[in-house]
Structure 1
Amino acid sequence: MAAGLVISAPASGVGKTTLTLALARAWRQRGLNVQCFKSGPDYIDPAFHAAATGRASVNVDSWAMDRGTIAHLVSRGTDADIVLAEGSMGLFDGVAARGVSGTGATADIAEMLGWPVVLVIDPSGQAQTAAAIAAGLRDYRHGVRLAGVVLNRVASPRHQELVRRALNDAGIVVFGALPRHAEISLPKRHLGLVQAEEQAEIGKLIDEAARFVIEHVDLDAVLRSAARWSPQPAANGLNVTPPGQRIALARDAAFSFVYPHMLEAWRAAGAEISTFSPLADEGPDTSADVCWLPGGYPELHAGRIAANAHFRNGLRAFAETRPVHGECGGYMVLGNALTDAEGARHEMTGLLGLETSFAKRRMHLGYRLAALAAAMPGFQAGARLRGHEFHYSTILTQPDTPLAVVHDASGAVIAETGSRRGRVTGTFFHLIAEDR
């Protein structure tokens, strides 16, 4: 029977991912099977989890997914010795309006699965107040259990002692304290961590994080705090209709933001996926019946994409007879042009009239509920799709027919409606699940 834990924190940027990776690798080095999940809409961290454990990680999301879907996804941890769910943002941070089974908060997953929470606390600039924060998180919501705390970025032995004493007085277990250690800092860019597949030394970095955590954290105590868990049979699977029988999927450093559970659901439904690299000037498989361009970082590679005539011509030829869909960065590449952060304008594929710019960045972030006004690959008009939007591009023009009426999590209508022209469609949000 597997044991489950949630790794969370009071806020973002405290060290959840580093601790999750370090624990996973350290236990794997002991010969344990470790399964990771990511709570919330994050398409980068699961690849780091897979690098640390050797097992695929997927997202679980209480705003976008029902309990049956979550149960189906976590059932892959049945054969693991320890299951770790890494949280997003702070433990209780979600949206104001409830979604399918919660607000998207990590606490929803902890309560739903009955897994205790290991809090990562960064006490920089404070001492005893860290204990007050931990105690507040422990007592905030009935049904969410705190296993203990790992302190991160402790300034000195005296600092550690002050914080430990306060936490002990509050009845909170301290599993360990990590001094500041710049060598295991994961590199970042504007949408989060630099992707695992772009870091040649990621294995060594995770090994160093594991060595550091083994030295400073009581791994046996953390393991004993996990809840023994046997997944309940899921009443349903993912209920995802693939966009086609044979899917040409853009996949490289510019096109990599696609939720792993979506690809698994497509394959489980019998679809075949063939990948191609626009950055390598490859076009979609001509035997495919649909082409899908995920999000990613086209703004970092806009010059190469604009220069790759074989990719652009191949995609245009494909779109003459078969559907093409793009999400976020993929949507931008389907447009007329993309202006990069330096103000240089790059011609894209021109399959849609969309023009976007990163010269004046503005963050667009949040859950999205879209009611399709027209069909897109895999979904008929009228379908309601749940997804997540996260980008810094500004729309300069969006002249095509809107694809959907899109609301944020509060119910407000937003301007990023997506577009359609002929067989080509695109959205700024990344699809997580259909709203059934």
Structure 2
Amino acid sequence: MPRGLIISAPASGVGKTTLTLALARAFRDRALAVQCFKSGPDYIDPAFHAAATGRVSVNLDSWAMTRQTIEALVGRGADADLVLAEGSMGLFDGVAMPGVSGSGATADIAAMMGWPVLLVIDPSGQAQTAAAVAAGLRDFRSNVRLAGVVLNRVASPRHESLVRGALADAGIPVLGALPRHAEIELPKRHLGLVQAEERRDIDHLIGEAARFIVRHVDLDAVLQSAADWSPKPALSAANFTPPGQRIALARDVAFSFIYPHMLEGWRAAGAEILAFSPLADEGPDASADVCWLPGGYPELHGGRLAANQRFQSALACFAATRPVHGECGGYMVLGTALTDAEGVHHAMTGLLGLETSFARRRMHLGYRLAELASPIPGYRTGARLRGHEFHYSTIVAQPDTPLATVHDATGAVVEETGSRRGNVTGTFFHLIAEDK
């Protein structure tokens, strides 16, 4: 029977990802099968999880997904010894207006699955107050159980002793204490972590983190703190509608932001995925019936994409007869131009009129609920789609027919409607699930 545990924290930037990766590898080194999940809309961390465990990690999202879908996805952990689900933001952080099965908070998944929470606390600049924070999180919601605490970035043995004593007085077990150790810090970028495939040393980095954790965390206590869990039999993932039977999928470091559960759902429904690399100047497979361009970091590769005429001409030829859809970065590449953060103007494919700029940075962040005014591959007019938007580009021009009416999680209308021109469509949000 597998055991389940949530890794969470009071806030972002405390060390959840590093601890999750280190624990996953350390338990794998003990010959345990470890299954990771990511709570919330993050398309980067699951790739790091896979590097640590050798198993595909997927997102669990209580705002966008039904409980049935979440239970179907976690069923993949049925053959694991240990499930580690990494949270997002702070433990109880979600949106004010609940979605399908919750607010998107990590606590929703903890309560739904019955997995206790291993809390990562950074007591920098604190001592006994860290215990008050942990106790407040423990008592905030009755159906969320705290397994214990791992202290991160402890300044000195005296500092550790003060914090441990306060936590003991509060009845909260400390399962580990990590001194500052810069070598295991993972590099950041504006959307979060640098992607796993960009780090040739990722296996060494995770291995070093695991060795560090072994010296400072009681792995036996962590394993015992996880809850026995009886997963339901995995349900069919075919409710994730594929956009076509043969899908030409842009796939390289400029086009990598697509949720793993979407790809698995497409395959489970019988679709074939034909990957191609725009950065390698490749076009979509001519035998495909649809082309999908995920998001990523096209602004870091604007010059190459603009120069890759074989990619651009092949995509234009494809779009003349078959549907093409882009999400966020993919949508920007379908537009006429992209200005990067240095102010350099790059001509894009011109299949849509969209023009974007990173020189005028403005953060767009949040859940999105879109009602389609016209169809996109796999979804009819009127379909309601749940997704998430996170980018720093500014719309300079968006002259094409709006694709959808889009609301944020509060119900407010947002200006990023997406666009349609002929067979080509695009959205700024990344699709998570249909709202059924």
- TM-score of the superposed pair, with normalisation by structure 2: 0.99
1:435 Cα deviation after fit: 0.2
Separation (CA, whole Å) in 2 of partners of 1:146 and 1:249: 41
Letter in 2 for 1:227: A
1:355 matched to 2:339: no
Aligned positions of 1:56-135 closer than 5 A: 56-135=56-135
2:154 is matched with 154
Answer whether contact 2:43 2:259 (CA < 8 A) is retained: yes
Separation (CA, whole Å) in 1 of partners of 2:232 and 2:30: 28
Query: Where does structure 1 differ by over 6 angstroms across 4 or more consecutive aligned residues?
Result: none
Separation (CA, whole Å) in 2 of partners of 1:271 and 1:170: 53
Letter in 2 for 1:173: P
Answer whether contact 2:238 2:266 (CA < 8 A) is retained: no
Aligned positions of 1:162-177 closer than 5 A: 162-177=162-177
Answer whether contact 1:178 1:216 (CA < 8 A) is retained: yes
1:18 matched to 2:18: yes
2:314 is matched with 314
Separation (CA, whole Å) in 2 of partners of 1:187 and 1:311: 31
Seq. identity, %: 80
Separation (CA, whole Å) in 2 of partners of 1:170 and 1:80: 33
2:29 is matched with 29
1:241 Cα deviation after fit: 1.5
Q: Deviations over 1:279-329 (max 9, x none)?
A: 000001011000000000000000000000000001000000000000000
Answer whether contact 1:68 1:237 (CA < 8 A) is retained: no
1:239 is matched with 239
1:141 Cα deviation after fit: 0.3
- Structure 1 residue matching 2:79: 3-state secondary structure: coil
- Where does structure 2 lack aligned partners over 5 or more consecutive residues? none
1:367 matched to 2:367: yes
Aligned CA distance change for structure 1 residues 89 and 352 (closer, same or farther; 3 Å): same
1:417 matched to 2:400: no
Answer whether contact 2:75 2:235 (CA < 8 A) is retained: no
1:261 is matched with 261
Equivalences, count? 436
1:249 Cα deviation after fit: 0.2
Separation (CA, whole Å) in 1 of partners of 2:234 and 2:244: 26
1:237 Cα deviation after fit: 3.9
Answer whether contact 1:407 1:413 (CA < 8 A) is retained: yes
- Structure 2 residue matching 1:212: 3-state secondary structure: helix
1:305 is matched with 305
Aligned positions of 1:160-309 closer than 5 A: 160-233=160-233, 237=237, 239-309=239-309
Q: Deviations over 1:6-33 (max 9, x none)?
A: 0000000000000000000000000000
Separation (CA, whole Å) in 2 of partners of 1:128 and 1:313: 63
Answer whether contact 2:88 2:106 (CA < 8 A) is retained: yes
Separation (CA, whole Å) in 1 of partners of 2:189 and 2:266: 30
Separation (CA, whole Å) in 1 of partners of 2:338 and 2:219: 48
Separation (CA, whole Å) in 1 of partners of 2:234 and 2:344: 50
1:353 Cα deviation after fit: 0.1
Q: Deviations over 1:153-180 (max 9, x none)?
A: 0000000000000000000000010000
Aligned positions of 1:377-392 closer than 5 A: 377-392=377-392
1:50 is matched with 50
Answer whether contact 1:69 1:236 (CA < 8 A) is retained: no
2:336 is matched with 336
Q: Deviations over 1:57-82 (max 9, x none)?
A: 00000000000000000000000000
Answer whether contact 1:254 1:301 (CA < 8 A) is retained: yes
Q: Which one is further off, 331-340 or 223-232?
A: 223-232
- Structure 1 residue matching 2:256: 3-state secondary structure: coil
